[in-house]
Amino acid sequence: EADYLNDETLDMYEKDLKKFNNTTQLIIDNSITLLIGDYCYYNPTVNKLECSAVVVNGTNTTIKDINFEVNVKLKNQTDMTFIDNGMYSFIKNEVGEIKPNEGFPTGIAFLTDPSEKNGEDMIKINPNDVVIQLKNIDYTVIK
């Protein structure tokens, strides 16, 4: 059984697992997949896109200590430029060992160039419009 930080984290995982079972996103064979959840907002106050996500182990082995870089863009959003790629690391103490075809919940955030979308209200982003690409994926195989 994977370690988890608290009961709220476990509840979030179980909710995301239900979403994951009905998702239209594909799990990539023999790799790590990042599924975007329903919570996805642009915060104009801090120029940041924030989304819930589930990291899924699509390999056929149990793994730990996952690292990857995420490139992101939004469909139909030419006025939003992302400043950086997100580099994410999840160590065994945080998420435990991840068995094949299992995952864990997390969040991702990306800074954008200051835009003309001033205001204080969070802007809901359709998760289907978020296009992600993982690269430089690294993890440790548990034997």
pTM, two decimal places: 0.72
CA angle 141, 51, 106 (to 5 degrees): 30
Q: Are 64 and 98 in contact (CB under 8 A)?
A: yes
| Predicted confidence (pLDDT) at residue 27 exceeds the cutoff of 80 | no
Tens of pLDDT, residues 69-119 = 888 888 877 677 777 667 888 888 888 899 888 888 888 888 887 655 566
Give me the residue label for tokens 């979308």: 117
Residue 73 lies in a domain: yes
Residue 1 lies in a domain: no
Residue 2 lies in a domain: no
Q: What is the CATH number of the domain that holds 39?
A: 2.60.40
Structural domain count of the chain: 1
Evaluated on CA atoms 69, 131, 38, 100, the torsion sign reads negative
Both tokens assigned to 44:
């104009």
Burial class (CB in 10 A: 0-12, 13-18, 19+), 16: buried
Residue 110 CB contacts under 8 Å (≥ 6 apart), including other chains: 48, 49, 70, 72, 82, 83, 84, 86
Per the structure, the complete domain to which residue 32 belongs is given by 7-141
